Amino acid sequence: MTTVIEPAVEDAATDAPEPIIRLSGVTRTYQQKNRVVKALTGVDLEIRPGDFLTIQGPTGGGKSTLLQLLGALDRPTSGEVRVAGHDLAKASGADLQRLRAHEIGFVFQGFNLIPTLTAHENVDMALEPLGLSRAERAERVTEALAHVGLADRGDHRPSELSGGQQQRVAIARAIVKRPRVLLADEPTGNLDESMRDEILAVLESLNSEGLTLIVVTHDSAVAKRAGRRVRLAKGVVTEL
């Protein structure tokens, strides 16, 4: 499958592509009972098309909050978050929904597959918001499953697949929309070492084709394979 990436806008000063995601002075606070929780405190981060970035850090350090902002699932308390040219603070709820539907794919530690549906049907569900014809949907699903090495498993239900194969289906479901950015939250957390490497190979292949890849992980073996690594602790991002 060829990942569709729109032409990048060149930065005249650096000849580098314009960031697909940019966070400037971002804070995110929550009211929790009688206290204010500062999940993010002044985060600055740029992610360019084709980056493979991993995010590490302790539990409670703000990783989940950051991932929600990167995926247009939340808005900052202050500062600016721009994703694929959209300012999240100014975007309407419908705009954010379209952004998630077209530009961003999600992969999680839990595979989140519907057990009564086949692999093909699980992947096809991601295309429902796009208004495609049945024929085009079938073509995209077949292509996505082939791209993750499961061309012959489309009629299998999750219980008939290994953990690694289930995560491959989850990846196929994420890329079938042909997003520009793939967010993966501990994608190998439920897998043994051999399956971890198998899934990493799939993700690296997608990244090599131009897909921007952002992975939250506790696994240093995963993080070391990325082109860029950042650490998030106490709401502050540090480039490693």
Q: Could you tell me the two tokens for 17?
A: 């592509």
pLDDT of amino acid 1: 45
Task: Please state the separation of Cα 124 from the chain's center in Å.
Answer: 18
For residue 226, is it within any domain?
A: yes
Read off the pTM: 0.89
Q: Could you tell me the two tokens for 111?
A: 């595979």
For residue 200, is it within any domain?
A: yes
pLDDT of amino acid 35: 87
pLDDT of amino acid 15: 66
Q: Please name which of 18, 31, 8, 23 lies closest in space to residue 67, comparing C-alpha atoms.
A: 23
pLDDT of amino acid 3: 42
Domain range spanning residue 221? 50-62+95-239
CATH of the domain at 135: 3.40.50.300
Per residue in 138-162, is it b (16+ CB within 10 Å) or e — as a string? Answer: eebbbbbbebbbbeebbebbbeebe
Q: Please name which of 5, 81, 3 lies closest in space to residue 42, comparing C-alpha atoms.
A: 81
Structurally, the chain folds into a number of domains equal to 1
Q: What is the mean pLDDT of each run of 10 residues along the chain (240 residues)?
A: 42 68 95 88 95 94 92 94 91 92 94 97 95 96 97 97 96 96 94 92 96 95 94 92
Helices (H), the chain: 63-70, 93-102, 119-124, 134-147, 163-175, 193-208, 220-223
Q: Could you tell me the two tokens for 193?
A: 């070492």
pLDDT of amino acid 12: 43
The sign of the torsion formed by the CA atoms of 133, 134, 138, 144 equals positive
For residue 194, is it within any domain?
A: yes
For residue 58, is it within any domain?
A: yes
For residue 33, is it within any domain?
A: no
Answer whether 145's CB lies under 8 Å from 151's CB.
Answer: yes
Q: Please name which of 193, 205, 139, 184 lies closest in space to residue 163, comparing C-alpha atoms.
A: 193
